[in-house]
Structure 1
């Protein structure tokens, strides 16, 4: 959804693949129905080639793998670009160019952008949100105790936007002892320090090894 919004802002003619149950959402983003195909089969290759008059497309933004990547590469017009966003099927740019008519292949990694350029991009994106050009993706919150249902929903690709796990409010903790497991890491140390300095708790930090030892001791003491 984010990619479609950016592409339309840039003035591109968008062809999109999605699960059939989500086609209505894609149309709602302004994509013509004749330029939407299923991401669950390879039929999108023939459909998009027919709609484009046999030419194909100039740029492909991909996060698929295997034969779906091959089908997408065949759709790129001569001299076009293929931007790989996924990590499951990264290919050699030279081999792609030789096998697919000079397609310019690039595996994109946000970590390669650099801090300075990252800051520039973030400022530009925030400006687009403030101007109303981009819209936030839909967010659906679930109680963390229903995490199993959420992961099941994700595995079936039935969700749209972002799924968020929320933690219900618990009793106020102060002047007590809190056990922080896995506290040998940086995050555990930060949590423990926060509880002691800000909440007045007595911190009891345990490493994973210590926790396993405690469980074994409890099991032995009950036998």
Structure 2
């Protein structure tokens, strides 16, 4: 069985493909024959030892996957060999077969392909948790999204639009903003050309933004926070810009607004029933075409360096998926 492995911390070029023994399921587990494993921005961090999760060596990257059930362990009911499934693992999915707790499986609807299903968990799951459980987003509220053309940003654009928000896409180039519009954004800010605080204030008639979904961080965070509305909710999702910003706390006081962390992985562990409801809703939306689950590119496992480069260089518009 082939597996992409991280044997020491370093860049993607240091990863290797090894042959490993076939896995066997234990009680309560199944073996999934992986056909698609999705990459996320944190995959560029975890292999360098710069992410909060630090697996023991050797480990496989990729937190989410789709495929078919190849074997079933003792005590597992309600599943059959050959069924199409998807799962979130945290890490370890970039291999031909992987052991998954049965409780982590979700059925993949017939109308959804494996690459789309594999990419739904982290980006769309985070958007669902962030906008529903953390922001309590209401129909008619204004939602601005920093990094709106990446996998995480596009998911928030689509989910926000479905939840009835007025969506403002914020990205660094016209082509990225055009993609966000295709996914449901109604207005846009090109922060490669225009100052973000003034632009958001202008688009909201001076009122400010009700909810801001920040996947970028860095130098954009403080000016975006200055564009928040009274009692707005600023969602801290990620730091694709590379720097963790230092926020002046007096701004929260002056705005009467909240700064709220969105830690989806911990939410999954602490509130599994709410997570499953979110994901079942997402899979139904994806199968019915309400969300596009946009896949920017797929690469065979052997071309992992190209896939990593797309994400690390912030050129991905949607998900990047490894296929097996």
Same fold (TM over 0.5): yes
Q: Which has the higher contact order (CA 8 A, sep 6+)?
A: 2
Find 1:46's aligned residue among 176, 181, 198.
198
Distance in 2 between residues matched to 1:137 and 1:10, nearest whole Å: 19
Find 1:62's aligned residue among 204, 211, 214.
214
How big is the alpha-carbon RMSD for the aligned residues of Structure 1 and Structure 2? Answer: 2.6
> Per the alignment, in what secondary structure is the counterpart of residue 255 of structure 2?
coil
Deviations along 1:167-200, one digit per CA (max 9) or x if unpaired, are: 5xxxxxxxxxxxxxxxxxxxxxxxxxxxxxxxxx
1:121 is matched with 278
Deviations along 1:118-156, one digit per CA (max 9) or x if unpaired, are: 122122222322443222222421233433333333232
- 2:173 maps to 1:16: no
| Structure 2 gap segments, 5+ residues each | 1-153
Deviation (angstroms), 1:95: 5.9
> Cα gap change, 1:90/1:70 in structure 2, threshold over 3 Å: closer, same or farther?
closer
Deviation (angstroms), 1:82: 1.0
> Per the alignment, in what secondary structure is the counterpart of residue 120 of structure 1?
helix
Q: TM-score normalised to the size of structure 2?
A: 0.45
Larger radius of gyration: 1
Distance in 1 between residues matched to 2:277 and 2:248, nearest whole Å: 27
| Structure 1 gap segments, 5+ residues each | 168-223
Higher helix share: 1
Question: Are the counterparts in 2 of residues 90 and 107 from structure 1 also a CA contact under 8 Å?
Answer: no
1:141 is matched with 298
- 2:261 maps to 1:107: yes
> Cα gap change, 1:122/1:144 in structure 2, threshold over 3 Å: closer, same or farther?
closer
Deviation (angstroms), 1:164: 2.0
Length, aligned pairs only: 164
Higher strand share: 2
1:160 is matched with 317
1:5 is matched with 158
Superposed counterparts of 1:83-94, under 5 Å: 83-86=235-238, 89=244
> Per the alignment, in what secondary structure is the counterpart of residue 136 of structure 1?
coil
